[in-house]
Structure 1
Amino acid sequence: MKNKLKKFVLLWGFFNVVLCCSDCFSLCPALGGCLGSSRDAQCPGAVAVKKRIDCHPQPGASQEACEARGCTWCSTDVPNAPWCFFPEDSPYGYSRAGNIEKTDKGWRVTLNKRQSLSLFGNDISPIVLEAEFQTKDRLRFRLYDPNKQRFEVPLKIEGPGVTAEEANYEVEFSEDSTHFTVKRKSTGTVLWDSPLVDLFFSNQFLQITTTVPSTSVYGFGEHEHPTFKHNMDFSTYGMYARDQAPTSFANLYGVHPFYMCVEPDSNAHGVLLLNSNAQDVTLSPNPSLTFRTIGGIFDFYLFLGPTPENVIQQYTEAIGRPHMPAYWSLGFQLSRWGYGSLDVLKQTVDRMHRYDIPYDVQHLDIDYMERRLDFTYDKVNFAGLPEYIQELKKKGMHNIVILDPFITKDEEPGTYKPYDLGQEMGVWVNNSDGVTPAVGQAWPPGDSVFPDYTNPRTVEWWTQLCLEFKDVLDYDGIWIDMNEPSNFLRGQYPGCADNEINNPPYIPSISDRSLSQKTLCPDSKTYLGEHYNTHSLFGWSQTEPTFNVVQQATGKRAFVLSRSTFVGSGKHGAHWLGDNFSQWKDLRRSIIGILEFNLFGIPYIGADICGFNYNTTYELCLRWMQLGSFYPFSRNHNAEGNSEQDPAVFGDEFARISRATLLIRYSLLPYLYTLFYESHVHGNTVVRSLMHEFTSDQQTHGIDTAFLWGPAFMIAPVLDEGARSVDVYFPDAEWFDYYTGLKVPSAWKKNYSTVSAPLSKIPLFIRGGYILPEQAPATTTTKSRLNPFGLIIALDEQGEASGSLFWDDGDSIDTIENENYFLAKYTFSKGNLKTEILKNGYPGADTLKYNNITILGLKLRPQAVTLNGRSIHGDAFSFEMSGKLTLRISAPLTQELNIKFY
């Protein structure tokens, strides 16, 4: 409607019938819009366009409906800006009632609704705003109904508590009590500023707005975002778990209401809204954020940083540190939905081995099942599967089986244990009556019921079945799919009742503006309450019990891959970016996805290499194999009915290039594994943006076409069809070409430079000042873990570098907690390399050796080299004029090295 009105007005002006541009349509008020370039002058006294907060966030706004709400109506040609918005003297919101009350953890204040006017009815008054000083760098503040318990996410985030004086933040009301603010003490920067007149708290509509100190805002998910740094031009993102292939601006599989903001002085902070109800957030150019949700409470956590890495460390300390993956799971993985038979699977595996392509893990999608029934396998098309799994294990490989969260109810009684046992134990999500199971449709034949993983009895049921299935197929991990939960109907049979739970007065900006499309009715009942509140927790609640049973079944570290995630899912599971498409756009945007999930505390993340939907092309798949070789979770996967796309199917040249790139990954797995150790222990990101490391460089804030492993290794993939070069931005540091060891020219620093990228190469660079452990690669991690180690030492401008190596047996449970690991620290300074062994608790390290040390950036050729006081013959090292030195040694990994270069 808006676009048609604007077009009509422009035509009207063109024919000089009427002109109305400066007084907000005094001549043509029925059109409800304004012409002219100065939008702030069109409505005298109106809020500036960039500050507008939508007063009619649901579809169907009109001038009449807007003004009936006591709001202002004025069109604008600023894209996405609201035409109906709150005036400066808004009749809504809350005001402070009485004095601030001190509590054991901080303070609280009561707020009263200012007037009786309501947007969606059932406004709650009074409400309480409570601030809790959890740590010196973490503040919790929440708004809740003091007279009635509302749903809260069952994720406990507690802190030891600090005094206001100890905290690095200040929490205050403005002098006139109209604004609630949080400031950084050290700089005075306002991190959060909410006007109480923009606050709403009704039974099914909560809204709060805050300004942010800059437009460098990152996070919010799960979505396919077009850029890592968000566009603040009134972009709105809905969050509500949904089975939906990645689509711009659509809510996808998981919910992560977390963002990070980089302040103008390069400090950073993060904010979490811990709320699981359907919600959306609007990013406005003020800059500001407007949060809306339709249930629960406002439960915010603010993390002070001040570096981006500090923010994520503090965030994961609160929600749960990422789990430590098994070493084998960092190898390359292969999957497809549609092998169709064991023979086809064997042919695929055989050609991978024939080309010697590194390859550790084989996945089994739903076609391995008998008629797509969980906890079965097809004894006709996949006859011999249990025996074949054992064959792969003997070759050092691992396997993952998929399980879906819906169970058919229509098998003959006594023939399908998962349903019979679940019915006996009462484990299903129920209809609104709380008694009869909710029945929908999914992959299995007939109709399906849905386990309620928030119910302890369901955990018992799931644990028993997964343990029994281990005796059928000797799996190493479980892939849990479709757990939004997905349902092929709009709600369950016989449809959703017409009530305010199923059809609330406001539905956030989610696909179809529907809470029941492709899932269950919101008034369904779970153990924790209505599905209205718990829907987006389904995958989260399934992940932990799956993690626990995989460890119990295998006796080893768990591998759990979940499609639906929520705040804290990284503690027990991995994630992939869902049913993407074989398109260049999806290749490019996968980088944004892996960066975001590292912000969300789920660093073991990847996208389906070569794309899931559609047929790939040779060039796209090859470039994707190159990029995907550096996803933390590296898996090639595609859909039923599409052409095969494993890296062995395209012929010799494709296989050769894929093998070469994967061998680089495998050689650097000790570095990647060490990053996961630091993630598990300290909460670090594994993959991070250039902005993370070079926050004060404004150029890095918008870069999402290259990324880093940790602080030191840059991957700059080709993302455009036909391209044979890449424009790479090099922040102010020493950088070295991974392939040649050549130093990047000084003129390239803080500039974009064109780097050659023939079809056979993905550009890779090492940052000076860091030491990367490496290991001679092999075609499986089982083999590569036996090989000699090396060190790549990339020197900074001062000729210094440092790094570390974490090593354990790779798959035992709690090796870090039990101190069964090896940890070494490396330091290079003043021509001297020293290693310090910080922990030597893993006996297996005794059999491993160093055999190669590479130094990049040496200014002069050394005349002599000693290892622990003994001279090394000159033929044991070579020096290139580029400053690259290669040293061949033989020294135990557990020996502290002291190598001097004279």
Structure 2
Amino acid sequence: MVSMRILSTFAVISAFLFLDCEVESCQTTISDSNRRDCSPWSGTNQASCEARGCIWCPHETSGIPWCFFNDHVCPSLIADGEKVDCHPESGASRESCNNRGCIWCETSTPNTPYCFSDPTVSQGGANCPSDISDHERIDCHPDSGSTEDSCIKRGCHWCTSSIQDVPWCFAPKTTGYTLVGDVTQTAKGYTATLDRKPTSSWYGHDIARIQMDVEFQTNSRLRIKIFDPSVARFEVPLNISSTSAALDPLYSVEFSNSPAFNIKVKRASNGATLFDTSLGGLVFSEQFLQFATKLNSHNVYGFGEHEHHSLKHDMNWKSWGMYARDQPVTHGANLYGVHPFYMNVETSNLAHGVLVLNSNAQDVTLSPLPSLKYRTIGGILDIYMFLGPSPENVVQQYTQAIGRPVMPPYWALGFHLSRYGYNDIQTLKDTVNRMRAFNIPHDVQHGDIDMMDRRLDFTYDPVNFTGLPQYVRDLKNEGTRWISIQDPCISIGEPAGTYRPFDLGQSMDVWVKESDGVTNAEGRVWPDANVYFPDYSSTSCQSWWKQMSIEFHSTIEYDGMWIDMNEPASFVTGSVKGCYYNQWNNPLYKPRVYGDVLADKTLCGDYLQSFGSHYNTHNLFGWSQSPVTQEAVQEVTGKRSIVLSRSTFPGSGSTSVHWLGDNHSLWSNLHYSIIGSLEFNLFGIPFVGPDICGFGGHTTEEMCQRWMQLGAFYPFSRNHNGLGWREQDPGILGAEVARVSRESLEIRYTILPYMYTLFHHAHIDGSTVMRPLFHEFVTDTATHAIDRQFLLGPAFLVSAVLNEGKTSVSAYIPDARWYDWYTGAEVSNSLRKSWTTLPAPLDFIPLHVRGGYILPTQQPANSTMFSRLNNLGLIVALDDNEEASGDLFWDEGDTKDSFENGEFDTVEYTAVPGILTGITSNLGYAGLFGMEYETVRVMGLAHYLDITDVRVNNQQHNLFTFTSSTGVLDIVNLTLPAHEDFSITWTAL
């Protein structure tokens, strides 16, 4: 079959070869050689050309564009009779005129100078304007192939620079729009009508008149919406609204119309400017939208999904493309999800966040000014600001807007094991048996596509995995849950009536369509035959997917679902037929994303889904699959569950969790995994982690041992690797790796009540679970760039070894009391706000607890099914005032909507000098009945000589020890009912 791409190219060639000898004449001042193609796609005609704002002029010579940009636009609105000659002497040319900072506009009006002054506009030129510094430059030619000639044709400046990566072609400050009339006040804020300033077009079809609405949505949230008021364009179907204007906003807004229309957002408390578009460069065309803003500081975090090598962004003209892609984790590549959100910690150490709610292909460039330039190729510019003022406040406000994180079941916080390449059930059983033999905690087992029958969704291989359904039931009886994988696409190659997912999908017409709206989009993925792509945005597809998920549970009684390849991925470009060569598959500007075309490894942009074209909705594919999958799993299990999704978008965290994709068994990936996990906590998806020990490549014993130590403290702790690489489960790498893995995981299981409570707060308040140090110590600027250590919640510090052969860690000690997890000994007060070297032999990971906090704990077991039956404990870490606080959230562990339905217990813990109290509330679950506090450890009493008396609920309790050298009081053999209020007192000498 001749591909569509080849046919389209043939059509273009034929259009030139099939010319009549007579060609319609036209008038243009642009020479043949200077014609800049405005519509290179097949099917262009005069109407479509002129609709793009371009010139239509047929030509008898092959290769000369018939549709081309008008590069002789006069940017000035000064009437001919009012122009003052800027070049009265002879020899004037556009170049010499522009070099004087003047405008060159040829005219037929007699006695009118071509070169004249108009300080309100610019025509660019081969000159270096004094009012634009190198770091203020806005790239006027972000696509490749920039030359002096092509730059000037766009009405931009061409000026070389010795600074690496600084654009040589850049926009005048006057580029953009001008205000029509006045900014008008509305019920929620302001509205402004803006007209495009005359200048050459960069990519065609510029929108002449746009509207900006500014909404004071809440005291901490501001919306800036820039759109075409005359034509409805695609908007992300994520409703972030407010009913009335904020009464006491943390921000103020200022507008200016010079040198082009711009907006500034300031913090009300100190007047600091947080968002400032006075650099110019606002572009709003059909397929290219851009804004630039100055930033308050260089402390920028976020944007994803990528493998970033530092948490704090490199601001040296670094660009990041965002377009969901099936891509092994690679630095610089756009990966599986899209998150156009960033946080900026200001020079005052306050913080704000910004979301650009857009689902088209896009990119962002960060510059040292500091500033950022954002570009997208569709939709609207829908900007939300979150004023904090603390980093945690920013995340809480962001998740309030896009959706609070889903509450995972308790068992999901246990250790997960997986592998692509067990290949048969005996290998799987051998792996699990090793876990049991070494008594390594093992809460969840995953099944990858090698367990499917010929890679077909909703099947299992009855030959190589004989008895898998019963084995899954056996595992669950032993305390190990099961998560099944499903890919989004369905094979079309099975005989009619033999493969229900396809047969039912056909009858319900659930597939993504080609551009004709009728033909099903056809690609290649894992099955032997071609596949169709379900359209998860359609109600019929959602019903079908839900039905198939429910039916599959009668075969494999899974507890959670793993949805992979949902960017969506395809092993061919666009489809098995290729893609038409048109503006939706081949836009004039392709953001800085991997692949020669946008359809590389995915679908054609002109394909259709229920909620829009794939051009507009590609990045929403996984986002639309997650909610219905969560509904299906909860319905069939009757319990709370997890949906593990590879592709994510703002709001995905409300129904799904995430892993960091196909990473590598490299030491560097330990570090990068911390960065990625911290970023997804910023994005509102706190249940996240990488493939421990690496997905691709052969791990080593030392690497995997260190990674298991680190991985014990990811929010999502899973060891997983790929087909063909050495086995790397903790039991296969020797007794020492197994021991260290078990001991590290036992610490995790000990603090699971604390971690589960953190997830509760994330679900209710939107806070992070795994957070960078600067979230807690933002006024200490030394923490702003730290990304090799992290905190679980506010109180548990992890400082893992991340390099081969190292037996110590360089760790920063923030300004607080810190206690060694293992001994309870306090870190020397002299080390506060400084770096120190912590010993870390191969079987040891440095862990510390922060003073001022109380951590609920529980005796560990090899599964949460058993550990939840054990007694509780408390770690009381006193601050400088000998005070601390904490809480416990406790429910059945997997009941749906337990908090919303009041089916939970809570306890508030408080410590003041000599007294610890626990106050229970909302005993709506009553699960604490029958449980007891067995141990309490109080840390931070080293300045006392001795503890002479301990009383529990006013009754003397003699089973305690006090270690004066470390200041640790251990109270043991308690039998305190966990559902009752209590008090513990101690008397110190």
- Asked if structure 2 preserves the Cα contact closer than 8 Å seen for 1:134 and 1:158, the reply is yes
Q: State how far apart, in whole Å, the 1-side matches of 2:964 and 2:743 are.
A: 24
- Asked if structure 1 preserves the Cα contact closer than 8 Å seen for 2:178 and 2:257, the reply is no
1:234-267: CA deviation from partner (whole Å, max 9, x where unpaired): 1100100000011111100000000000111111
**1:719 equivalent among 799, 802, 827:** 802
Amino acid at match of 1:390: R
What does 1:709-858 align with in structure 2 at a 5 Å threshold?
709-858=792-941
What does 1:653-668 align with in structure 2 at a 5 Å threshold?
653-668=736-751
**1:374 equivalent among 457, 460, 470:** 457
Question: Is 1:346 aligned with 2:416?
Answer: no
Q: Counterpart of 1:863 in 2: which secondary structure? A: strand
Per-residue deviation, 1:46: 6.2
- Asked if structure 1 preserves the Cα contact closer than 8 Å seen for 2:155 and 2:199, the reply is no
1:726-746: CA deviation from partner (whole Å, max 9, x where unpaired): 000011111111111111112
1:73-104: CA deviation from partner (whole Å, max 9, x where unpaired): 2232322221111234x4x3101111122222
Per-residue deviation, 1:279: 0.3
What does 1:471-550 align with in structure 2 at a 5 Å threshold?
471-550=554-633
Matched residue, 2:962: 878
1:344-366: CA deviation from partner (whole Å, max 9, x where unpaired): 10000001100000110000000
Q: Counterpart of 2:277 in 1: which secondary structure? A: strand
Matched residue, 1:867: 952
Question: Is 1:621 aligned with 2:696?
Answer: no
Per-residue deviation, 1:836: 1.3
Matched residue, 1:561: 644
Q: State how far apart, in whole Å, the 2-side matches of 1:193 and 1:418 are.
A: 52
Name the stretch that deviates more: 311-320 or 888-897: 888-897
1:286-327: CA deviation from partner (whole Å, max 9, x where unpaired): 111111000000001100100000000000001000011000
- Asked if structure 1 preserves the Cα contact closer than 8 Å seen for 2:250 and 2:269, the reply is yes
Q: State how far apart, in whole Å, the 1-side matches of 2:956 and 2:668 are.
A: 55
Amino acid at match of 1:845: L
Matched residue, 1:12: none
Q: State how far apart, in whole Å, the 2-side matches of 1:317 and 1:416 are.
A: 42
Q: State how far apart, in whole Å, the 2-side matches of 1:883 and 1:488 are.
A: 62
Matched residue, 2:50: none
Q: State how far apart, in whole Å, the 2-side matches of 1:680 and 1:804 are.
A: 15
- Asked if structure 2 preserves the Cα contact closer than 8 Å seen for 1:46 and 1:72, the reply is no
- Asked if structure 2 preserves the Cα contact closer than 8 Å seen for 1:236 and 1:281, the reply is yes
Matched residue, 1:138: 221
Q: Counterpart of 1:702 in 2: which secondary structure? A: coil
- 1:513–1:143 Cα change, 3 Å: farther
Question: Is 1:170 aligned with 2:252?
Answer: yes
Amino acid at match of 2:761: E
Amino acid at match of 1:810: G
**1:55 equivalent among 121, 126, 140:** 140
- Asked if structure 1 preserves the Cα contact closer than 8 Å seen for 2:856 and 2:873, the reply is yes
TM-score, with length taken from structure 1: 0.94
Q: State how far apart, in whole Å, the 2-side matches of 1:171 and 1:45 are.
A: 28
1:751-779: CA deviation from partner (whole Å, max 9, x where unpaired): 11000010001111111111011000000
Matched residue, 2:65: none
Matched residue, 2:662: 579
Q: State how far apart, in whole Å, the 1-side matches of 2:358 and 2:631 are.
A: 25
Q: State how far apart, in whole Å, the 2-side matches of 1:183 and 1:808 are.
A: 43
Q: State how far apart, in whole Å, the 2-side matches of 1:710 and 1:641 are.
A: 37
Per-residue deviation, 1:49: 1.2
Q: Counterpart of 2:472 in 1: which secondary structure? A: helix
1:362-381: CA deviation from partner (whole Å, max 9, x where unpaired): 00000110000001111000
Q: State how far apart, in whole Å, the 2-side matches of 1:881 and 1:676 are.
A: 36
Name the stretch that deviates more: 186-195 or 564-573: 186-195
Matched residue, 2:157: 72
Amino acid at match of 1:880: S
Question: Is 1:699 aligned with 2:779?
Answer: no
Q: State how far apart, in whole Å, the 1-side matches of 2:159 and 2:505 are.
A: 57
Matched residue, 2:984: 899
- 1:515–1:44 Cα change, 3 Å: closer
1:772-811: CA deviation from partner (whole Å, max 9, x where unpaired): 1100000000000000110001111111111011111100
Q: Counterpart of 1:676 in 2: which secondary structure? A: helix
1:330-352: CA deviation from partner (whole Å, max 9, x where unpaired): 00000000000011100000011
Q: State how far apart, in whole Å, the 2-side matches of 1:568 and 1:263 are.
A: 26
Q: State how far apart, in whole Å, the 2-side matches of 1:877 and 1:612 are.
A: 46
- Asked if structure 2 preserves the Cα contact closer than 8 Å seen for 1:280 and 1:293, the reply is yes
Matched residue, 2:88: none
Amino acid at match of 2:965: M
Per-residue deviation, 1:44: 6.0
Matched residue, 2:69: none
Q: State how far apart, in whole Å, the 2-side matches of 1:42 and 1:668 are.
A: 63
Question: Is 1:465 aligned with 2:548?
Answer: yes
1:689-733: CA deviation from partner (whole Å, max 9, x where unpaired): 000000011100000000000000000111111111000001111
Q: Counterpart of 1:135 in 2: which secondary structure? A: coil
- Asked if structure 2 preserves the Cα contact closer than 8 Å seen for 1:502 and 1:521, the reply is yes
Amino acid at match of 1:159: S
- 1:399–1:185 Cα change, 3 Å: same
Per-residue deviation, 1:175: 6.9
- Asked if structure 2 preserves the Cα contact closer than 8 Å seen for 1:667 and 1:777, the reply is yes
- Asked if structure 1 preserves the Cα contact closer than 8 Å seen for 2:658 and 2:687, the reply is yes
Q: State how far apart, in whole Å, the 1-side matches of 2:163 and 2:672 are.
A: 26
- Asked if structure 1 preserves the Cα contact closer than 8 Å seen for 2:524 and 2:576, the reply is no
TM-score, with length taken from structure 2: 0.86
What does 1:589-628 align with in structure 2 at a 5 Å threshold?
589-628=672-711
- 1:159–1:236 Cα change, 3 Å: same
Q: Counterpart of 2:927 in 1: which secondary structure? A: helix
- Asked if structure 2 preserves the Cα contact closer than 8 Å seen for 1:737 and 1:764, the reply is yes
Q: Counterpart of 1:659 in 2: which secondary structure? A: helix
- Asked if structure 1 preserves the Cα contact closer than 8 Å seen for 2:325 and 2:336, the reply is yes
**2:168 equivalent among 83, 88, 113:** 83
- Asked if structure 2 preserves the Cα contact closer than 8 Å seen for 1:135 and 1:162, the reply is yes
Amino acid at match of 2:306: H
Q: Counterpart of 2:784 in 1: which secondary structure? A: helix
RMSD: 1.5
Matched residue, 1:426: 509
Q: State how far apart, in whole Å, the 1-side matches of 2:360 and 2:263 are.
A: 24
- Asked if structure 1 preserves the Cα contact closer than 8 Å seen for 2:399 and 2:405, the reply is yes
- Asked if structure 1 preserves the Cα contact closer than 8 Å seen for 2:299 and 2:345, the reply is yes
Q: Counterpart of 1:419 in 2: which secondary structure? A: helix
- Asked if structure 2 preserves the Cα contact closer than 8 Å seen for 1:227 and 1:704, the reply is yes
Per-residue deviation, 1:42: 10
Q: State how far apart, in whole Å, the 1-side matches of 2:262 and 2:523 are.
A: 47
Per-residue deviation, 1:196: 7.5
Per-residue deviation, 1:68: 1.7
Amino acid at match of 1:868: N
- Asked if structure 2 preserves the Cα contact closer than 8 Å seen for 1:46 and 1:87, the reply is no
Higher CA-based Rg? 2
Q: Counterpart of 2:675 in 1: which secondary structure? A: helix
1:629-671: CA deviation from partner (whole Å, max 9, x where unpaired): 1111100000011110000001111111111100000000000
Q: State how far apart, in whole Å, the 2-side matches of 1:81 and 1:248 are.
A: 21
Matched residue, 2:729: 646
Matched residue, 2:54: none
- Asked if structure 2 preserves the Cα contact closer than 8 Å seen for 1:94 and 1:196, the reply is no
- Asked if structure 1 preserves the Cα contact closer than 8 Å seen for 2:136 and 2:279, the reply is no
Per-residue deviation, 1:513: 4.5
Matched residue, 2:370: 287
Amino acid at match of 2:566: N
Matched residue, 2:326: 243
Per-residue deviation, 1:837: 1.2
Matched residue, 1:209: 292
Matched residue, 2:56: none
